[in-house]
A = this chain, B = another copy of it.
């Protein structure tokens, strides 16, 4: 791409490093930003810098937050004896949106993957084990239903079961509103295996 401006080229190059932004979108974004009012550009870059500088991990559940404890861990009404393990803050936000879960969370920031060389020490697992020494009745494993998520779930389950804490896994099956003919075989099989009496 011929930019006639090294500055635009550099900006497009940096933007194209972001996930889901290819060279063409990066160019479009770069030209758009060049035409934005200067104060608007400053608001954009400041919002990025401020977030990167000020956001940190909740010291209890490792959710991303602005203060020492995240709003969920700070909330006295939440049931601290029930911990849901998720892979990342977005998964946690997804469960929070349901508005029906009253326990707390633990964010692993990843899942184990022997293929990518990600072991138990590379995710926030040690920190989870330390939390379990407190008063915890149930550990709900809500890692993704992927190879890595399942492997992580199995690993945690084996590690925690001997402590006597109830370890559960979120159900796997046909999504609500899903059309059977478009659903993959593994999901169909899981839904069959996990069938419940009506």
- Whether the Cβ atoms of B88 and A4 lie closer than 8 Å is no
Interface size on A, residues (CB 8 A): 57
- Whether the Cβ atoms of A4 and B65 lie closer than 8 Å is yes
A189 within 8 A of B: no
- Whether the Cβ atoms of B29 and A19 lie closer than 8 Å is yes
Q: Residues of B contacting A49 with CB < 8 Å?
A: 41-42, 45
A134 to B175, alpha carbons, bound, how many Å?
68
A50 within 8 A of B: yes
- A33-52 interface mask toward B, CB cutoff 8 Å, 1 = contact, 0 = none? 11010100111110111111
- Whether the Cβ atoms of B31 and A90 lie closer than 8 Å is yes
Across the two chains, which residue of chain B brings its CB closest to A10? B47
Number of this chain's copies in the complex: 2
A18 to B34, alpha carbons, bound, how many Å?
12
- Whether the Cβ atoms of B88 and A7 lie closer than 8 Å is no
A28 to B89, alpha carbons, bound, how many Å?
11
Say how far A69's CB is from chain B's closest CB, in angstroms. Answer: 10
Q: Residues of B contacting A30 with CB < 8 Å?
A: 51
Q: Residues of B contacting A63 with CB < 8 Å?
A: 4
Please list the residues of chain A having a beta carbon within 8 angstroms of any beta carbon in chain B. 1-8, 10-11, 13-15, 17-21, 25, 27-34, 36, 38, 41-45, 47-55, 58, 63-66, 70-72, 88-90, 93, 96-97
Given A4-B89, A36-B52, output 13 extra A-B contacts at Cβ < 8 Å. Answer: A1-B97, A3-B64, A4-B72, A5-B51, A5-B55, A5-B66, A8-B55, A8-B64, A14-B44, A21-B29, A31-B64, A31-B90, A45-B45
